[in-house]
Amino acid sequence: MKIVTIDQMRQLERGTEALGLPSPALMENAGRAVADAVGRNYPVHGRHVLVLVGPGNNGGDGLVAARHLHDMGARITPYLVGRSLVDEVKLRLLRARGVGVCLAADDPDTRLLQRLIDGSDLILDSLLGTGRSRPIGGILRTVLDLVNARERTRSPLVAVDLPTGLDADCGAADPHCPRADRTITLGRPKRGLFLPPGAEYVGEFTVVDIGLAPGLDDAFDLALATADDVRSWLPVRLALGHKGTFGKVLVVAGSANYTGAPALAAMGAYRAGAGLVTLATPRRVQAVLQSAVLEPTWMPLPEEPDGSLGPAAVEAIGAAATGSDALLLGPGLGRSEATARLIEALLARRTELAHLRWLIDADALNLLAAIPEFWTHLPERCVLTPHPGEMTRLAGPPGGLDRITLAGAAASRWRQIVVLKGAHTVIASPGNPAWVLPFANPALATAGTGDVLAGLIAGLLAQGLRPDRAAVAGAYLHGLAGELLRQRAGPSGGLASELLALVPAAMQMVRLGEAHDAPA
């Protein structure tokens, strides 16, 4: 599913109109879809729904939704802001149902609005959509301030298309923008829903079909990853397969101070379905982990006096790589000078190791950043998985670029696949549309979850997935497992090892079509 800018959304609407579906029909579809989505997620029969209606098309969508919610048994009160009681069809249809309409112009002290907010079970925000172009002021600001001051546990706020005051392109939020509990975005998800600070205002989000003509967005260069995408890419598990059938991963990781990261990465590769994972790590790390982590095979490497890996390990790594399909380099390596020389030595052998699919993560990225024009030393179609701090070291300060633009520019310049981690992880690769994940989950903000992600992607690489698809699929499974973890443990307190245990369930949900994305 493509993610669009304001201009792109207008292109889709104009193109759909040109093919025979006029704007009023799109609005009718949008309002009905909003009402259906509200009804799926909240009890509405007999409940009081306050519909805040603005002057433009977003307000028109809200009026149509109000009619359908009334027909579903809700008690509806439309409150019109900057919109008059002209004899338009949408208002006529409401009045024919006996629905009373309130005007902000008749409520100068907003006492009526305060009573309506206090007595509401749900508030629908259809004040302003993508057409907002200036700071919010006047009566609209007063309305939003009252909404923001409400008792949120009593009356959840549902935004139509996007919360009022949120920039659909860049994610900037007006100071009076309300924080929605759910955003029902129309036709296609908007770019600003996935960018800070706007993503904090969206709540749960749903994308609803409004009848846009198919194929008009084929050339757009940003997509939302869905379970359907991932399902179509997951490796087939042959009944007569064996561990060699499903790929071999070599994990070069660990140092004396970071013993957990290599284990989490190795087990992530196994959880992704890899048949055999070899953990190449300093001898003292092997001594710590071997009795606790049973599944990997081990390649004990000569280590430096401080317990890190150095150039002395290159020959052994090269030998282990001969029979491997994917190389995961970085988790827990540390940043010693000796390890920096190891990274340089391995890159110098990239031709010899060209049969491998590379993933570079964590400290290997930090050491890579110190190499001038490092991207000229990388193998082709390498996957790089930086968090924002590592991205700054690799690419320099963002200079005002948002996450999506930054990842795309880096992938294009470096000619590599870039996985920019964080809320709504972005995956960019040269010559292909970028992908954004639907997940923003504080339960994943804990040490070790990035090592699990690296292992998942490496495991899929070893099974033959195209590197960009392995990155999207691994990140999606990681995010979905994170949602399962949040359901069990809440937004904090879950562990990376618990996340690992939930990956097979997440993968099975995807395979069976039971994973429900934010889009509906």
Does residue 184 sit in the same domain as residue 235? no
Please indicate, yes or no, if residue 1 is contained in any of the structural domains. Answer: no
User: What is residue 516's predicted lDDT score, i.e. its pLDDT?
Assistant: 67
Please indicate, yes or no, if residue 114 is contained in any of the structural domains. Answer: yes
Does residue 74 sit in the same domain as residue 187? yes
**Residue that is last in its domain, among 165, 186, 217:** 217
Does residue 166 sit in the same domain as residue 283? no
Please indicate, yes or no, if residue 519 is contained in any of the structural domains. Answer: no
Please indicate, yes or no, if residue 48 is contained in any of the structural domains. Answer: yes
* pLDDT tens figures, 370-409: 999 999 999 999 999 999 999 999 999 999 899 999 999 9
Taking only Cα atoms into account, the Rg of the chain, rounded to an integer number of angstroms, comes to 26
Does residue 235 sit in the same domain as residue 174? no
CA distances from 335 to 342, 343, 361, 364, 490 (A): 11, 10, 13, 8, 34
Please spell the DSSP secondary structure of 114-172, one letter per residue: HHHHHT-SEEEEES--TT--S---HHHHHHHHHHHTS-TTTS-EEEESS-TTB-TTT--
Please indicate, yes or no, if residue 222 is contained in any of the structural domains. Answer: no
Please indicate, yes or no, if residue 28 is contained in any of the structural domains. Answer: yes
Q: What is the CATH number of the domain that holds 39?
A: 3.40.50.10260
* pLDDT tens figures, 80-117: 999 888 768 999 999 999 999 999 999 999 999 999 99
Does residue 373 sit in the same domain as residue 259? yes
Rounded average pLDDT over 427-432: 95
Please indicate, yes or no, if residue 518 is contained in any of the structural domains. Answer: no
Whole-number Å distance between alpha carbons of 30 and 24:
10
Domain encompassing residue 28: 6-217
Does residue 313 sit in the same domain as residue 452? yes
Please indicate, yes or no, if residue 454 is contained in any of the structural domains. Answer: yes
**Residue that is last in its domain, among 175, 190, 217:** 217
**Residue that is last in its domain, among 217, 251, 271:** 217
Residue 263 has pLDDT above 60, yes or no: yes
Does residue 200 sit in the same domain as residue 348? no
Q: How many domains does the chain have?
A: 2
Does residue 161 sit in the same domain as residue 192? yes
* pLDDT tens figures, 110-150: 999 999 999 999 999 999 998 777 889 999 999 999 999 99
Q: What is the CATH number of the domain that holds 275?
A: 3.40.1190.20
Does residue 253 sit in the same domain as residue 402? yes
CA distances from 81 to 87, 110, 138, 200, 465 (A): 16, 11, 11, 25, 52
